[in-house]
Structure 1
Amino acid sequence: MAGLTLPVAAAAPAAADPGSRSGECDAAYVPNFSDDTVSVIGTDDNTVIATVPVGDAPFDVAVAPSCSFVYITNFGADTVSVIDADDNTVIATVPVGTGPTGVAVTPDGDRVYVANFSANTVSVIDADDNTVVATVPVGTGPSGVAVSPDGDRVYVANGEEDTVSVIDTDDNTVVATIPVGDRPNGVAVAPDGDRVYVANQNEDTVSVIDTDDNTVVATIPVGDAPVGVAVTPDGDRVHVTNLADDTVSVIDTDDNTVVATVLAGDAPIAVAVTPDGNRAYVANGDDNTVSVIDTDDNTVVATVPVGLSPNGVAVGTEADKDKCRCHHGDGKEECRCPPDRKNDGDRAGVSP
C-alpha cells in the first residue's frame, strides 16, 4: 500500500499497446499518480498489457479475491474507480470521502474499505452495487488499510496521529486504537491473522502488532522512510519499501530481523507479493518503473516501465477465487464466474 508521500513527476516511459486480460490472478495493477492511469502488467512475462484511464491522481489499488474486479482510489477526485479485469475498462466510479488513499477488499469480495486521508474516515463500499453503505470515523490522516484473513477486522494506519484503528466489520465500529511509530503508512496482515505489520515512515521502523490483544510486540529497524509493506503467502517474510534509500527490507517473521536488503528503483513506495510467493512487485515512484524481485534469492529479475509516478501495486490472491462476483450496471445485475462454476442460483448473469 502506497503512503501519502506524494510522488514527484518524471519523464514518461514509452507507451504500451493496449490489451486485455481475463479475470485471472496473473496480473499486477499499478496506479500512476501523475498521469491518471493504471498500468496492467502481465506477471507471466512482465510486460505492460494495458493502460487504463481512471480518475484524478490515482493513489492505491486492491484486487478482489476473485481477480475479476480492481479498485483504484483517486486522491484528487474523491472517488474509487472500479475496473473490470476481464477487459480492463472502468465499469463504475464511486464517490467516497475527501482524499482517498488506501484501499482493501474483504476476503469474500463483498466489501471494499477506503481510507479518506483528508476526512479522517473510512468509506465502506458494497461491491455488489458499488455504493457506500457506511462511513467510519477513524484517526487523523488515515492512509494504509488491510483486512484480516477471516474478514472480521480492518486495520487502518493513521499517519498524522501515530496510531492504527481496528474496525469490527460486523457493525463497522472502531473497537481498538493502537499506538505505533512515527507516521505509520503501509499496513499488512499475516496470512494466519496473528500479526499486523505497520511501516513507520518517520522513524525507519516496522511495528509488529499481536492481534489477540492489539499490542505492539516488536519494533524492527528497517531502511530510510519505510512506506509499503507486504507479507508473503506463507507468512515467513515481510517486504518493506524504503522510500528514501531505494531499497526493500526483507524481514524474517520468526525472529523479526532483517535478513536481506534489496536495491530497487528510485523511491520505492509500494510492494505486493504474488499468490505463489515467488515474486515481489515494487512500484518506484521517481523513475516510473516497477522492480520485480525473485523472493528465493532476493534479486531484481526485471524492471518494467510504467506510467508517471507509480504510487501503488497489487496482484490478485488465490483465496476465494472460485467465487462468482457480481455487479450492477445498466439496470441489471451481471455475474462473472470461473469457467468451472455456474452463476449462483439467485443471480442472473453471464459466465465469462
Structure 2
Amino acid sequence: MKRHVCAYFTVLLALAAAASADWVTATVAAGSAPWAVAVNPATNRAYVANFGADNITVIDGATCEATTIATGDGPYAVAVNPVTNKIYVPNINDHTVTVIDGDSGDTSCVTAGLSFPCAVAVNPTTNKVYVVNNDAAGTVTVIDGASNATMNVSVGNTPFALAVNPVTNKIYVANNGSNSVTVIDGTTNDTTSVAAGPNPYAVAVNPVTNKIYVANYSSNYITVIDGATNGTATVLSGPNPNAVVVNPVTNKIYVANYDAANVVVIDGATNATDTVAVGLYPYAVAVNPVTNKIYAVNVGSNDVTVIDGSTNLTGTVPVGTYPYAIAVNPVTNKNYVANRSSASVTVIDGAGFAATTAATGAQPNAVAVDPVRGRAYVTDWSLDRLTVIDIASGDTGSTAVGHNPHRIGVNPVTDKVYVANHFDASVTVVDA
C-alpha cells in the first residue's frame, strides 16, 4: 500500500455507494390495498388482509404461490392461532370477524358485539381471541376460539391497539381517545385502567420481564407499565412514536418514530436508549428473536431498514410502494411486507443481511466505501492512521496518514483514497 503526502490542503469531493445483498426473494401479487399481514410459522403460510379487495391472500412460504379467501367488507387486521390453525380477520366496514380454518380454507363469520373492529390478538394458551372495537363506546369483543361465542368487555374511549401476555393471561388495550391502557384479566375479564400518554397508538409486551410498552403518538415518549404492579415510568423516544416491538431474548425494545426517521432502542433493564437512523416515515416495526434482526418499514422511502440487534448496524431493502405492514417467520427467516399502493407483498430473506464489526483505531471519525472493490476506509483522529476493511471477510489493515485525519474520499475508478489531515494542512493520497 503506497502513500503520498501532498504539502497543501484541498477540498475533496467523493461519491461512495455501499454494496447491498439481494435480500428480496419474491414479490407476490396481492389484492387491492394490502393492509395487514400475519404468519403461521407452524404451517409456513402468510396471510395478507386486502382492505380494498375484501379478501385474504394466502402465501405458501415454501413456493410463494398465492390463493385468495373472501372475507367481509374492509379486512383491517389479521391474527393467527398457530395451535388451532385458525386465522381471525376483523372487517371494519361491516362489523364482523371472518374466521378461517387454515387446514381447509373454510370460513365462518362472527357478528355479535362488534363495532368497527380494527385490531385483533390471540392468546394461544387459552384459545381466546380479543378484538378491538374502534368506537367511542370503547369495547373489546372476546371470542371463544372453540365455539366462536362472544362477550364484550368495556375499556377506554376509542381503543386502537392491543397486546396479550400469554404467561400472565393479561390483555393490554391502548385507548387512543382517553389516553389510557385498559388491563383485562383473561380469566375473569375484570379490568383495570392505567394512565398513559397522549393518544396511545401501539402496545407491546415482554412476557419474560412482564413489562408493557405503550407508544404515545402525540408525544415524544413511551409509557412503560410494570405488569406486576401496574406502576408506570416514561422513556423519551422521539416525535410521534407510532410502533413498538419487543425482543424478549435480548430485552430490547424498538420504537419507530414516524416524524424523526429513526428507531429508538430501549434497554429493558435500564431504560437507557440509543437511536438508529432508518428510512422516511417508519410506520411498522418487527423483530426476529432468533436472528436478533429488526425490520423497520418506511412508508416514505418505500424500503425496509434491517437493524442488526447486536451492533445496531443497518442495511436497506427496497420494497413496493407504500409498505404498510410486516410479519416475520422466525422458523424460515422469511419476512413478508405488505405494500399498500402496489398491491403486492415483498418477501425478504433474513439471511441476506449480515453485519460485521471490525476493529479500527481509538477515535474513528470518518468513513468511505469503495463499492467496486468491496472495501471500507476509516480514519482515526488520534492515531493518525487509515484502517482498510474488507467488507466480505471483515479483515483489516492500516497505514499511517497525516496528523488528525478529518475527511476521506475514494475514487473507485483509480483505486485512490484521499485523506484530509486537519492539523498539518495536508492530504494523504493512498494507492489502495
- Per the TM superposition, whether the score is higher than 0.5 is yes
Q: Distance in 1 between matches of 2:202 and 2:194?
A: 15
- Does the alignment pair 1:253 with 2:271? no
Instruction: Name the counterpart of 2:278.
Output: 263
**1:111 Cα shift?**
0.3
Quick check: 2:125–2:166 contact (8 Å CA) kept in 1? no
- Does the alignment pair 1:188 with 2:204? yes
Quick check: 2:44–2:62 contact (8 Å CA) kept in 1? yes
Output aligned runs, 1:209-220, within 5 Å: 209-216=225-232, 218-220=233-235
Instruction: Name the counterpart of 2:139.
Output: 121
Q: Distance in 2 between matches of 1:68 and 1:125?
A: 15
Structure 1 unpaired stretches of 5+ = 1-13, 319-352
Instruction: Name the counterpart of 2:216.
Output: 200
Comparing 115-124 and 248-257, the one that deviates more: 248-257
Structure 2 unpaired stretches of 5+ = 1-26, 32-38, 332-432
**1:289 Cα shift?**
6.3
- Does the alignment pair 1:58 with 2:75? yes
Q: Distance in 1 between matches of 2:53 and 2:238?
A: 29
Instruction: Name the counterpart of 1:8.
Output: none
Output aligned runs, 1:76-115, within 5 Å: 76-86=93-103, 89=105, 91-95=107-111, 96-108=113-125, 110-115=127-132
**1:280 Cα shift?**
3.3
Quick check: 2:242–2:255 contact (8 Å CA) kept in 1? yes
Output aligned runs, 1:186-335, within 5 Å: 186-216=202-232, 218-264=233-279, 266-274=280-288, 276-285=290-299, 293-298=307-312, 299-300=314-315, 302-305=317-320, 310=324, 312-315=325-328
1:68 to 85, 93, 103: 85
Instruction: Name the counterpart of 2:155.
Output: 138
Aligned partner letter, 1:181: G
Provide closer, same or farther for how the CA distance between residues 106 and 17 of structure 1 changes in structure 2, counting only shifts above 3 A.
Answer: closer
Flag the structure with more relative contact order, 1 or 2, with Cα contacts below 8 A and sequence separation at least 6.
1
Provide closer, same or farther for how the CA distance between residues 209 and 230 of structure 1 changes in structure 2, counting only shifts above 3 A.
Answer: same
Q: Distance in 2 between matches of 1:66 and 1:287?
A: 37
Provide closer, same or farther for how the CA distance between residues 52 and 161 of structure 1 changes in structure 2, counting only shifts above 3 A.
Answer: same
Comparing 296-305 and 189-198, the one that deviates more: 296-305
Quick check: 2:41–2:330 contact (8 Å CA) kept in 1? no
Q: Deviations over 1:251-290 (max 9, x none)?
A: 22122133232414x5433333235253334455567766
Q: Distance in 2 between matches of 1:51 and 1:283?
A: 24
Provide closer, same or farther for how the CA distance between residues 301 and 288 of structure 1 changes in structure 2, counting only shifts above 3 A.
Answer: closer
Q: Deviations over 1:208-257 (max 9, x none)?
A: 111121011x3122233112211113152112222333433222212213
Provide closer, same or farther for how the CA distance between residues 100 and 270 of structure 1 changes in structure 2, counting only shifts above 3 A.
Answer: farther
TM-score (norm 1): 0.71
Bigger-Rg structure (1/2): 2
Quick check: 2:197–2:219 contact (8 Å CA) kept in 1? yes
**1:98 Cα shift?**
1.4
